[in-house]
Structure formats: structure tokens, C-alpha cells
């Protein structure tokens, strides 16, 4: 494998030479600097690099090129090198191109030419992109081989964990010749799946999620025993708290049981988030926030579950599922919510085998030319229906209520109405799911007539309600009857603090019944279930953490 590549594309030969010259001057020792004068020429170069196995770190593309614009080039280049960081070059401010670059190719930066002096205008941008490329989870892992069964729940969970954490892997079905060959080479049988084979030939048979995360290069062990701030949960609220905490100088650790982004990270398209007029995928938003938190110095601890919270004097101690413990001056609980179980006959047995909670985007290809059913009437269900409509023959949205207006945003209702392959079935609920080893049919009931119907399908995606992930906090902080966490004013009753409140002051707005433990996002009682509000609460929680630390 050769040096990582920095590739610039510009149809102006003089500019092209100048870019390459400036890049070689600073990065020539560690990187190979290449240049091309058209998008087509650059794509040919990338294909050759791909065949040779050479990594590409940064792509710089001029926007206004004949034949293929910079955005069009970067969009195609992503298929070859998805990890490469991307910047768009232009000679003047081009708002339309900037918006397209953000929404289509998740561009990292937008550079105006000329950039003299490069020490001020070019190098800081390229430095940030190189750092982001090096910090991506797979920086030390070329490709993981994953062997499993198509309808195996553990195999699905392994695929989902790798995909949501942006770890590259190659999937092999244990029922196909190449999969069987790999199982034999690993001295494994069909009952050992999923089987993981790393690039350095390590073999894991039916690994836990933490074991899989470790070999994939994700952080699974805390680097320290004590922090200023510990954030539990890696959704928008948790990422917001980690970014603001670390950027303001707090030693910050974020602990996430699955992957950063939470439920929002699984969304195929968020179209009402401020600053993204054409929408942004949840995965893109989560990746940007994760990289931002790491750049400010936050530590990410993934595939670890927190099982207990304890107060030891001024310390707040978090106990992890592997028996370890870490302590902090303050804690932000941003555990979010989980989709509620379908709760019908057959659902538990077929979870991960055709019944999925959330978008499960790794299943998209399997939905091609098939009939897919989505359960739920809120935005997450509508976004999933739009996403799967791009693959499936038909998508049926099953809604228990009489309409979508009470629970779904207007823009999304209009979008669903404009897609011919999507059918919205109101007053409809799932009564049972059936299948031998995997989902084959579902039984639905019409709430208006009471009639029942059995429908054939291999894919049912469930987006109903939200159960807070707070059971592990029972006895540590006050929870309401639904399991959500009251904070601040909601804890006060007739001018008194919550039971056992030890301080003379009232709890801060986002503070739980345990001083120094704050709550942000969907897990908080009476919170607004929106991505923007969750991010805002994460930032606000850090401000209150500073107040708490100053009074100690």
C-alpha cells in the first residue's frame, strides 16, 4: 500500500499546478499529491488507486468545470472512496453550489480562490480534513469479513453495528460457496455465526458487540478513571453536550451502547433541521457531530452499556456492563428512547429476522422489488417509508390513528402523497406476525370494520412510541410513571425540592433529583421530541454543569 493520496481537480492548468505545488510543500513527506484537469480524468485515477489498494485521504474539486461539475465528481468519487474528506473550490461565492455540496456529498469545506497565503486560507482547511480522515473508525482496519445467515438476528445486529459506526466490512452469506469456504478456513460451523475475520487474520466466532467493536477499531475501554463530565448516550443531545463540554475545556467522555446518532442517526433524511434546506441524512449529521466532538478532545466509548449510577460524595460514578467503573464531577443523561415493542404474537421470535425496529438501512438492498410494511404515524415512520420506496416495489405505511395530521409534519405528509409506490393505511394495526425462521406474513386489523387480512411480506419496520432507556436509574434519580426523568421546575412541589434534595438552592432547569446529574433530550420528561431541541438541551446542560462546578 502506497502513501495516502491528496487529489486536486481543476480544469485550469495554472490553478491545478498551483494547488499541487502548495500541497506538496506542506504534505509531500506523508502524502502523495496528485492532480487532474477534469472530473473524468480524476475518476480514472481513483479507479486505478482503488485497484491498487492505495488510500485516498482528501479530494479538492473545482466546481465550475466543463463536462462534470465539482459536486458531480465528488458524488461519484464517494462510491470509490467514501472515507475521503471533500472540499469544493470556486472563484466566487456560489450559494447554490454550496448547498448542493452540503446535501449531496457532505462536503467538509468550501474554499474560495485564490487562497493566498496558503498558510492562512488553505493549510488549516486541509489539516482539518486530514485529521478527520485519520480519526475515522476504520483508520486501522482495511476491511472486515463478516459471515452470517441472512435471517440470523445476531448476524443482523453485527452488520447494523458496523454500518452505523461507518466501519467497512464485506458480508458473506453462510449459505453461499464463498461464505462456506470462509467458515471452513475459520474452523467454524453454521452455529458459530456471525463469524468475523479481521484483516490481520484474527477470527471471532459469535462475538459480543463489545468484542466486535474492539476489533473494528472503535473505543471500548475508558482511557481514564475520572472525568470532569460524563455523557451517557450518543444521540443529538449527547453529541451536543460532548461537543460543548470538550470545546469549553472539560475532560469529557461520551458513552454509547450502540452507535452515535441515536434514533436520529438512523433517519434516511431529516428535512426540517435548521441550515439544511434540502435535508440531511441522520448518518451524515451524526458523523459530523462525532468528528467535531473528537476534534475538541472528547473521548468516545462505544458498545458499552451503563448499568448503574451512584453518588459517592461529590463524585458521580457510572458502572459499565463489563464491571468497570468511571467517575466524573458531573453527568449528562442523554439516553433517549427506544421504539416500543410491537407486542404481538411472533414479534419477539422474528426480531432481526424480518421484523426490525428503526430503519435498519442495511436491509435496503434486500427490499428491492419486494413489498415492505412500515408501522407508525410519526416523522420517523414517514422518513423510513420515503427511504424504502427507493428500493421496494411497494411500501405500505400502517397507521393506528385515523390520519397522519396529528403526528407527522406537513411537508412529510405531502411528500408521501407524491410517491406512487407508497400507500397509507389508517386505522390499521398489526395483530400478529408469522414465519418459519423468518418473517413471511403479517395479520392486520382494520379498526373501522374489525376485518382482518393476512399479507405476505419479508420486511416489517416498526416505529411506534418511545420507551425511555432509564430502567437502570431506578433508585438513583426520580423517574415519572412512564420512566421519563423530571428536571428543574418539574421536580418542585409547593416550593420544596425533590425528596432527599441536599442543597438550599432549587434544582437547575435540566438538573435531575441528584445534584450534578443533568438530563437532555428525549429521556427528559416533557421534552420536545425534535433533533434541534435535543442538540440545544445538550448545549444548555453544559452551561448548567459549569454553574454546578463553580458552586462546589
pLDDT profile of the chain (552 residues), mean per 10: 88 89 93 94 89 86 89 86 88 66 75 82 90 69 83 93 86 90 87 90 92 91 96 97 97 95 81 82 86 94 96 96 96 94 94 91 89 95 93 96 94 95 97 96 96 97 90 94 93 64 91 97 92 96 97 84
| CATH 3.30.9.10 assigned to 226-338+477-551 | no
List the CATH code of the domain at 347-462.
3.50.50.60
Cβ atoms of residues 327 and 317 within 8 Å: yes
Instruction: Write out the three cell numbers for 222.
Output: 475508558
Q: Nearest-CA neighbor of 39 among 4, 90, 76?
A: 76
Angstrom CA distances, 230 to 202, 245, 308, 325, 493, stand at: 33, 9, 13, 12, 29
435 CB-near residues (< 8 Å, 6+ apart): 346, 350, 353, 354, 441
Cα gap 524→144, rounded to integer Å? 38
**CA 260, CA 292: separation in Å to the nearest integer?**
12
3-class SS at 27? Answer: helix
Helix/strand/coil for 116: coil
Q: What CATH code would you report for 144-208? A: 3.40.30.10
pLDDT of residue 110: 81
pLDDT at position 281: 81
At how many degrees (to 10) do helices 282-295 and 236-247 cross? 20
Q: Where are the alpha helices (DSSP H) in 228-374?
A: 236-247, 262-265, 282-295, 347-350
Please state, in angstroms and as integers, the Cα–Cα distance from residue 392 to each residue in 295, 361, 401, 517, 520, following that order: 39, 13, 24, 45, 36
Helix (H) or strand (E) holding 85: strand 85-90
Distances (CA, A) of 244 to 41, 137, 541, 546, 552: 42, 22, 9, 11, 21
Q: What's the gap between Cα 141 and its chain centre? A: 19
C-alpha cell at 470: 432509564
What's the confidence (pLDDT) of residue 139? 44
For the chain, what are the domain ranges?
5-135, 144-208, 226-338+477-551, 347-462
Task: Give me the residues paired with residue 316 across strands.
Answer: 311, 328
Q: Do domains 144-208 and 347-462 have the same CATH topology?
A: no
- Residue 336, burial from CB neighbour count under 10 angstroms (0-12, 13-18, 19+): buried
**Cα separation, 375 vs 430, whole angstroms:** 8
The pLDDT value recorded for residue 498 is: 66
- Does domain 5-135 match CATH 3.40.50.2300? yes
Backbone angles phi, psi at 397, to 5 degrees: -95, 115
Query: Burial level of 514, CB count in 10 A (0-12/13-18/19+)?
Result: buried
Distance between CA atoms of residues 123 and 102, nearest Å: 21
C-alpha cell at 466: 418511545
Amino acid at each position: 500500500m502506497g502513501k495516502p493520496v491528496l487529489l486536486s481537480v481543476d480544469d485550469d492548468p495554472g490553478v491545478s499546478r498551483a494547488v499541487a505545488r502548495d500541497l506538496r510543500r506542506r504534505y509531500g513527506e506523508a502524502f502523495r499529491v496528485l492532480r487532474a484537469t477534469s472530473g473524468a480524468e480524476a475518476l480514472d485515477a481513483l479507479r486505478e488507486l482503488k485497484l491498487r489498494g492505495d488510500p485516498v485521504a482528501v479530494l479538492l474539486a473545482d466546481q465550475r468545470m466543463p463536462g462534470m461539475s465539482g459536486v458531480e465528481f465528488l458524488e461519484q468519487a464517494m462510491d470509490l472512496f467514501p472515507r475521503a474528506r471533500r472540499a469544493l473550490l470556486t472563484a466566487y461565492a456560489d450559494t447554490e453550489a454550496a448547498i448542493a455540496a452540503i446535501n449531496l456529498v457532505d462536503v467538509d469545506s468550501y474554499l474560495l480562490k485564490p487562497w493566498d497565503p496558503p498558510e492562512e486560507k488553505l493549510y488549516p482547511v486541509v489539516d482539518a480534513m486530514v485529521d478527520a480522515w485519520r480519526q475515522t473508525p476504520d483508520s486501522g482496519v482495511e476491511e472486515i469479513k463478516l459471515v452470517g445467515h441472512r435471517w440470523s438476528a445476531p448476524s443482523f445486529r453485527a452488520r447494523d453495528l458496523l454500518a452505523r459506526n461507518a466501519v467497512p466490512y464485506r458480508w458473506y452469506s453462510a449459505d453461499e460457496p464463498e461464505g462456506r469456504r470462509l467458515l471452513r478456513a475459520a474452523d467454524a460451523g453454521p452455529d458459530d455465526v456471525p463469524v468475523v475475520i479481521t484483516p490481520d487474520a484474527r477470527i471471532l466466532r459469535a462475538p459480543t458487540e463489545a468484542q466486535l467493536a474492539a476489533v473494528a477499531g472503535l473505543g471500548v475501554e475508558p482511557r481514564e478513571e475520572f472525568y470532569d463530565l460524563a455523557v451517557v448516550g450518543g444521540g443529538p443531545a449527547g453529541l451536543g453536550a460532548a461537543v460543548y463540554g470538550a470545546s469549553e475545556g472539560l475532560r469529557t467522555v461520551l458513552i454509547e451502547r450502540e452507535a452515535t446518532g441515536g434514533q436520529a442517526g438512523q433517519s434516511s433524511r431529516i428535512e426540517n433541521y435548521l441550515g439544511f434546506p434540502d435535508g440531511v441524512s441522520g448518518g451524515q449529521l451524526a458523523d459530523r457531530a462525532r468528528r467535531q466532538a473528537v476534534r475538541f478532545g472528547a473521548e468516545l466509548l462505544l458498545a458499552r452499556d451503563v448499568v448503574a449510577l451512584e453518588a459517592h460524595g461529590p463524585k458521580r460514578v457510572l458502572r459499565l456492563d463489563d464491571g468497570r467503573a468511571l467517575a466524573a464531577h458531573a453527568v449528562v443523561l442523554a439516553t433517549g428512547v427506544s421504539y416500543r415493542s410491537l407486542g404481538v404474537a411472533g414479534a419477539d421470535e422474528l426480531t432481526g429476522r424480518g421484523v426490525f425496529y428503526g430503519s435498519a438501512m442495511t436491509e435496503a438492498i434486500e427490499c428491492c422489488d419486494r413489498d415492505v410494511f412500515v408501522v407508525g404515524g410519526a416523522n420517523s415512520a414517514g422518513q423510513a417509508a420515503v427511504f424504502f420506496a427507493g428500493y421496494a416495489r411497494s411500501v405500505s405505511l400502517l397507521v393506528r390513528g385515523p390520519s397522519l395530521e396529528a403526528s407527522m409534519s406537513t411537508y412529510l405528509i405531502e411528500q408521501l402523497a407524491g410517491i406512487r409506490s407508497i400507500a397509507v393505511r389508517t386505522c390499521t394495526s398489526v395483530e400478529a406476525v408469522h414465519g418459519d425462521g423468518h418473517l413471511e406474513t403479517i395479520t392486520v386489523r382494520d379498526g373501522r370494520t374489525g376485518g382482518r387480512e393476512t399479507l405476505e411480506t419479508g420486511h416489517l419496520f416498526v416505529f411506534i412510541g418511545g420507551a425511555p432507556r432509564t430502567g437502570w436509574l431506578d433508585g438513583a434519580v426520580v423517574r415519572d410513571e412512564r420512566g421519563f426523568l423530571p428536571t428543574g421546575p418539574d421536580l418542585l412541589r409547593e416550593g420544596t425540592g425533590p425528596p432527599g434534595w441536599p442543597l438550599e438552592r432549587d434544582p437547575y432547569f435540566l438538573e435531575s433529583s441528584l445534584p450534578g446529574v443533568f438530563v437532555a433530550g428525549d429521556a427528559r420528561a416533557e421534552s420536545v421530541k425534535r433533533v434541534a431541541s435535543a442538540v440545544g438541551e445538550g448545549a444548555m446542560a453544559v452551561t448548567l454543569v459549569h454553574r454546578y462546578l463553580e458552586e462546589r
